[in-house]
Amino acid sequence: MGQRQEEELHLPYNLVKQSISNRQYKFMYQPILNVKTGGVGLEMLARWQHEGEWISPLQFIPVIEEQGLITDFNKLLVDQLIADHQMLKETLKNFSFISLNLSPYIFINKEEVKFMQYLTERLRENNIMASEVCLEITESSILNVHSFSFLEESRKEGFLIAIDDFGTGFSSLEYLIGNSFNVLKLDIALIRQITTKPRKIAIVDSVLMLSKKLKYRVIAEGVETKEQYDLLNKLGIDYIQGYYISKPLFIEDLFRQFNLGN
């Protein structure tokens, strides 16, 4: 069945809380290809099917955030990472890392310490290295005073820390001066017209040169064509993510597409 339109959707607190308690979410992975080494990272994406219809994360995530359920939801992400990690690492050739998106609400609600305790304990229990996990945050999260020490400590622990959607919104070179991040994800808006807009080429080229000197990894999001891929590769991009590589896939489809399943 089709996805419900936003104006038709009402998500009461009890329904959302129940969906988390009953683990009603399914998870997809979108590959992030290292164009230099062939290594493969995976961004984990949550999907919710309610009454036979898929509900967009753009609809249910804000409700989860506003209702103060983000920590409970994040635990589902961590648990799924743990459940899938070994299979992904053993089956996916050149597996590199799994990427989790962190809501700015964990900083707004001052729940970042609680989240990190849960994450590190689960990783330790299952012998998973911090370097195999990338924590993605939006630029709005950077503006929260609670995020700086959390991110810097997480980076020191070995986690990959990525600024998502870099190049739009509040983007500032000042963010790059500190030691809180080691990955930049270039926003789709920068990539979409990179083959036709010389100014966007110049911006991406400059970010790549600066990132190389500062030892940041750079991921280009939203790459959809071979022309975009070839240009970014020529400019020296580290990672490519987008439909040109693969759309988000359920784990069984991921193995099937890459001919890695049984």
Is the CA virtual torsion 221, 225, 227, 229 positive or negative? positive
| Amino acid sitting at position 30 | Q
Higher-confidence residue of 191 and 10: namely: 191
The two three-digit tokens of residue 113, written as one number: 């310490």
Distances (CA, A) of 65 to 13, 43, 59, 206, 253: 11, 20, 11, 35, 30
Report d(CA 57, CA 44) in Å as an integer. 12
pLDDT computed for residue 256 by the predictor: 84
pLDDT at 102: 92
* Structure confidence at residue 59 (pLDDT): 86
Measured CA to CA, the distance from residue 260 to residue 75 in angstroms comes to 28
Q: Which of 118, 121, 131, 125 is nearest to 89 (CA)?
A: 131
- Angle at Cα 39 formed by Cα 163 and Cα 193, nearest 5°? 50
| Between residues 5 and 43, the one the model is more confident about | 43
Q: What is the mean pLDDT of the chain?
A: 87
Alpha-carbon distance of 36 to 124, in angstroms, equals 30
Rounded Cα gap, residues 128 and 143, in angstroms: 30
As a whole number of angstroms, the distance between CA 189 and CA 200 comes to 9
Interatomic CA distance for residues 9 and 113, integer angstroms: 33
Q: Are 247 and 30 in contact (CB under 8 A)?
A: yes
Q: State pLDDT tens for residues 211-220.
A: 999 899 999 9
| pLDDT tens per residue across span 203-259 | 899 989 989 998 999 999 999 999 999 999 999 999 999 999 999 999 999 988 876
Query: Strand, coil or helix: what is 79?
Result: helix
User: Is residue 262 over pLDDT 60?
Assistant: no
Least confident range of 10-24, 104-118, 133-147: 133-147
Structure tokens given for 242: 């987008």
CATH number among 3.30.450.20, 3.20.20.450, 3.10.129.10, 3.30.750.24, domain 26-43+76-257:
3.20.20.450
Read off the pTM. Answer: 0.90
Cα–Cα dist 14/20, whole Å? 10
* Cβ–Cβ < 8 Å for 93, 40: yes
